[in-house]
A and B are shown apart, each in its own frame.
Chain A
């Protein structure tokens, strides 16, 4: 066992470090509340500029084929780059979905001409993509979606509604899964497309979250026309295409943000309780140890994933534990940080509260992390079914035409 890079990995890491230190600001130690809405214009401009710089230096699309503007390197190099980039202030969030999920789906299903047209500008940050999947009636049960696609000559006409779409408000293009046949069981009637977000008939409305931020949107379709050549996969094969996208989601939806152990440890070290320093309190120490052990467990599990990647193996669905463990820890640590601040803990004013209100922000943001990108429950199903090989739940909707399925209260 060792933690050393292979010579090729070390060379790549050195190259990444050189690029980052010359082009980005190092993250300051200590931890303040960096949560900012990345839908603000200047944040978006900064993200675009950063992606362009990365692309020019050869750090965009690290694992994508060279003929589409990528670098054609093995997955381990992407992990190495991400590790290094994490030490710098680097606004990458805007591109995670497009480059992590949409473009890989395009590369798997689009025509050669389309791949040439769309992949390089996405990698350079010139065009932003979003993913139109979830619907009010299709979240965990994604295949329950109802957005209708009807063929009209060489076009398809789309009507319906998507929800929880990150970045729809500033995206240029999107991938979209629709229902093209209501008379077959639900997985069989889906068809997949890509389209311009500037298409007539699309309306994007932001959703205000419980945290007050608005990272997600509702997207409404009223007679939106999509040319048939923008269909990905065969008519009725939309579920298969969706699985390609979702396979990539495991890599795109990562670990929950701070506060984690380091931040709560910092807070506790500066906190006096009624009977002395908080760090001397046995209950506090017990909780800290739990979070340290879980944080390190994930970190060390990641080393095992990297080992698999380094050997050229594909990491399996076991990476699902990452989000299950870290999202819940995020919530627990946030609550406990507020607890440590006693009655003052309810205050969110960053001028009054410790660490600019990091724990308060966490308390209001963490519920979303337990849901987005696969709920705690869906991820446990994935572990149970795909890792442990347990049977699927009984599916009452499998052999029934979609239009005959009960739909619950409206």
Chain B
């Protein structure tokens, strides 16, 4: 039984934590939050140089070939530091999609630039207010040309390429679209968490290249992989919230003593710890399933995502509460995590949808 990260992976975590404390402190996160800059280009470039973007991309395609467990380790640290970069879109979704379904040519063509950070990728699925289901997809590809509108697309304003879910004939498919090419319009939209920007993408006969043959089932496989990685990001964020709340409660005196000594606060922090430990344990199982391509991945991924959403929502929300009025100010950093928690809870699909997906996966497993 070995259900922990190994020494090398823990060393990577320590390095990543130190690097991000230095390069992505709250002041840096705020530059992206408070200005028009969509993400931190300098940070992104350094991720590429350190091999973080290609952590799970084999060396044959320009990656550093570390593996998915290492990617999980990095994801947790990026979440803890709120790193304002398009990492999730480009790596959890873009790179994973190419690794999962790309042809040899596509991998050769696209992965090396993705691994250096020279090109940014995103996933374009949602089409506005209707839930993203296969039958609700209107965007359509015919004769290799894509027409339709996607809203919102995480990091769609800064990405170079999108993987677009669209109809083709009677079925759905995934298509690679060059967002810098003809027939693509993009518009940044205002969001709750500007440190991860969102866009409206409009396609009018944009060139579209097929990715894989499976359409919707392929999309779900990619989402499963991204859900595990995202769960680590959420746990990193939740853990940071617990630590902030604890530090504040220890230093804040009321009625003559630290508020950390009152049970109302202690039990709240204990509950944060409980939620995080459950989510972390589920994420570890997801990491195992992801790194071994286990048949359990759909169940493990949905479990990890539902738990991670719960944990980060709870920790971010209660962190504000423990900070009292100061937690509600722009000046304190609580709202950075609160925004991010809300964003990550929806960006791969809501908890409600993932709970349903979890039960579906359990029904399938039970029928088998």
Contact = CB atoms under 8 A, between A and B. Distances in A.
Interface of A: 1-5, 9, 76, 265, 269, 279, 282, 285-286, 288-290, 292-294, 296-301, 303-304, 306-308, 310, 318, 321, 324-325, 377, 380-381, 383-385, 387-394
A297 B279 contact: yes
A388 B246 contact: yes
Interface residues of B, number: 48
Nearest to A387: B273
A300 B278 CA distance: 8
B362 A292 contact: yes
Contacts of B2: 1-2, 4, 307, 310
A5 B246 CA distance: 37
29 contacts: A1-B3, A1-B287, A1-B288, A3-B3, A3-B288, A4-B2, A285-B359, A286-B352, A286-B356, A289-B302, A289-B306, A289-B355, A289-B358, A293-B306, A293-B310, A296-B285, A296-B303, A297-B281, A300-B285, A304-B4, A306-B1, A307-B4, A321-B277, A377-B263, A390-B260, A390-B265, A390-B266, A391-B260, A393-B262
Nearest to A309: B1
B356 A285 contact: yes
A303 B278 CA distance: 12
Contacts of B265: 390
B278 A297 contact: yes
Interface string B256-280: 0110111101110111011001110
B278 A298 contact: yes
A38 to B, nearest CB: 31
A300 B355 CA distance: 19
B290 to A, nearest CB: 10
Given A3-B1, A292-B303, A300-B285, 15 more contacts: A1-B288, A4-B2, A269-B366, A289-B354, A293-B282, A296-B282, A296-B285, A297-B279, A310-B1, A318-B277, A321-B274, A380-B263, A384-B270, A390-B266, A391-B257
Given A301-B281, A381-B263, A325 B4 contact: no
Contact of A282 (B250, B273, B356): B356
B274 A5 contact: no
Q: Which 5 A-B pairs have the closest CB atoms?
A: A297-B278, A289-B355, A384-B266, A300-B281, A303-B3
Contacts of A3: 1, 3, 288
A297 B277 contact: yes
Contacts of A5: 1
B52 interface: no
Contacts of A391: 250, 257-258, 260-261
Interface of B: 1-5, 69, 242, 246, 249-250, 257-258, 260-263, 265-267, 269-271, 273-274, 277-279, 281-282, 284-285, 287-288, 291, 302-303, 306-307, 310, 352, 354-356, 358-359, 362-363, 366
A288 B274 CA distance: 19
A297 B307 contact: yes
B245 to A, nearest CB: 10
Contacts of B270: 380-381, 383-384, 387-388
A381 B266 contact: yes
A2 to B, nearest CB: 5
A42 to B, nearest CB: 36
Contacts of B69: 1
A288 B246 CA distance: 32
Most buried by B among A76, A389, A390: A390
A5 B3 CA distance: 11
Nearest to A269: B366
Contacts of B257: 391, 394
B355 A294 contact: no
B358 A300 contact: no
Contacts of A380: 263, 266-267, 270-271
A276 to B, nearest CB: 15
Nearest to B262: A393
A282 B359 CA distance: 10
B297 to A, nearest CB: 14
Given A1-B69, A377-B263, A380-B271, A321 B278 contact: yes
A384 B277 contact: no
Contacts of A279: 359, 363
Given A1-B4, A293-B306, A306-B1, A301 B277 contact: yes
B4 A297 contact: no
Given A286-B355, A388-B270, A390-B266, A294 B363 contact: no
Contacts of B249: 390
Given A297-B281, A300-B281, A393-B261, A325 B274 contact: yes
B329 to A, nearest CB: 24
Most buried by A among B1, B69, B258: B1
A390 B246 contact: yes
A301 B282 CA distance: 8
